[in-house]
Structure 1
Amino acid sequence: MFRPSAARRPSYAVCAGTCAAAIVLLTACDNTSHTATGNRDVRVGATVSAGVAGPQADGARGRAAPAPAVPRVRPREIPALGLRTRAAIPAESRQALVVTGDSYDSSLSTAVLYTRDDPAAGWRAATDRWPAHNALNGWTDEHWEDDLRTPTGVYGLTSAGGLLEPPGTMFPYNQSPDFALSGEGFDGEPLAGSFDYVVAVDYNRIPGASPLDPERPLGKERGGGIWIHVDHGGPTQGCISLPADRMRELLQLLDPAKKPVVVMGDMEGLER
């Protein structure tokens, strides 16, 4: 901070004239007295506070200092998804169930539902991480009938159904006895109750149709009937399975107005 010194006399300017004696002027010929301070002159009488530009800042033109730049906050992304996978999520989708397989050939997965109610803020987790199963042989980028693999990718979720009454879901829900199931799974576990609640994955099907609809736009050889359903304690033939209480929670949270999708695949594939 610069201040005029009390022990220092202000400079005097001498005006040309015929006077024999020097006349001490309180102001210079341009009505301004200056105190030299290093390489910069500070006008006497101007108040300069530490850290605050005085009225003669910026070349004595009184130009205001530019406002500080406000850093741009980037929207939050879904963790562990690569650029290609993120780009496949439709811009209008505001719910995404992310199912992550342990490895390409594993039948063990986890699932988290994400939502982005505020696009500027980005995605946030709406649930805990749930245990899940996928197909016996793992995953595939090109699904075929009876390959016992779950198709990777991003698919719409547009309809639901089940053997039991809907648990307060907003989804179109088809309750039918045709969802009854019996027999044993690959590990000898009972399959009864597996289709108490299901959400159809829009792979090789007509979006919005009942999960029981047999239409296969890509042909029957490309498989179909890929659902998210109640876990029976072992690998599936191609579906994703979640514990019964998590299926009820999922059906209560999914909102057709938010254009929900499922993002599913092995961990390494989803990171691409």
Structure 2
Amino acid sequence: MQDLLLMSALLVPSRDAAPIEQAVIVTSARWDSRRATLRRFERTGQGWVRQGRAVRAWLGSNGFAPARTRRQNSGQTPAGVFDLPSAFGHGKSGSVSLPYHRITPRSYWPYDPRDPYTYNVLQTKRIKSARWRDDGQWSERLLDYGRAYRYAVVIGYNLPEAVYRGPAGQWRAARPARTHKGGGIFLHVSRHRPTAGCVAIPQRAMREVQRWLDPQANPHIVMGPEAVTRDWRKRLRATASSSSVS
């Protein structure tokens, strides 16, 4: 049942009509920057209020790329606005409100173009007839990433829709993701180096973010260089300097 709830939250379309009450802003100086700053905000009766401290983040080894042009294996983090539908990990999760998957030795995240129907779909086991490759290049055995995935949140980039449990328990998408755009884009614990396209922050901050996110607040992440995030921050219309989204 837990896996069914997770898949529903992970792979349904974003609730575009719902107001965004929590926002995570990841800003770099340039498109090709490997480092960025992560800030988070929550809408209150007084407007948008910053939550916690700003933290330094690692990006992909080749910086940001616009989500519409980002390609698989580019080493770039997609820039844009995305929902944050679910979380996973193997650390002490505590009070996580997002749909949560505790990873096991059987947890995989494939993004193998030769099997579009499982592309960017969390798998709770690998069946013998699976077409996606388990070679470390076209899929991730999540537990192999150690501390990086101790606390993690899925970023809603290029996720498929209409996911169902297929033969032998494999999860498949009736409306697959785009196999040239890449997958497995997460917010996770930093290993003190650039990522393959994810956003990584210190463990304590990542654990705090994971616990703070509330699905009822329709949380979203805004990622990109200053020119991209500045425009979005202006639309938050902060009501006071103490709650300014800058």
> For this structure pair, what is the TM-score category when the shorter chain's length is used for normalisation?
0.5 to 0.7
Q: In structure 1, what is the equivalent of residue 200 of structure 2?
A: 241
Equivalences for residues 1-272 of structure 1 within 5 A: 92-118=19-45, 121-141=46-66, 142-177=69-104, 178=107, 179-182=142-145, 192-206=146-160, 217-272=176-231
> Secondary structure at the residue paired with 2:204?
helix
Alpha-carbon shift at residue 266 of structure 1 (Å): 1.1
Q: In structure 2, what is the equivalent of residue 32 of structure 1?
A: none
Q: 1:132 to 1:208 in 2, by over 3 A?
A: farther
> What is the TM-score when the length of structure 2 is the normalising length?
0.64
- The one-letter code of the counterpart of 2:147 is G
- The one-letter code of the counterpart of 1:122 is G
Contact 2:58 2:199 in 1 (8 A): yes
Specify which structure has the higher proportion of helix. 2
Q: Among the aligned pairs, what percent are the same residue? A: 30
Q: 1:232 to 1:152 in 2, by over 3 A?
A: same
Greater Rg over alpha carbons, structure = 1
What is the aligned length? 171
Q: Give distance in 1, aligned partners of 2:32 and 2:17.
A: 28
Q: Which deviates the most, 213-222 or 131-140?
A: 213-222
Taking only aligned residues, the RMSD between alpha carbons, in angstroms, comes to: 2.4
Gaps of 5+ in 2: 1-15, 108-141, 164-170, 232-246
Q: Give distance in 1, aligned partners of 2:191 and 2:76.
A: 17
Gaps of 5+ in 1: 1-88, 183-191
Specify which structure has the higher proportion of strand. 2
Contact 2:25 2:229 in 1 (8 A): no
Q: Give distance in 1, aligned partners of 2:185 and 2:70.
A: 11
Q: 1:181 to 1:90 in 2, by over 3 A?
A: farther
- The one-letter code of the counterpart of 1:196 is R
Contact 2:161 2:176 in 1 (8 A): no
Q: Give distance in 2, aligned partners of 1:207 and 1:128.
A: 35
> Secondary structure at the residue paired with 1:135?
coil
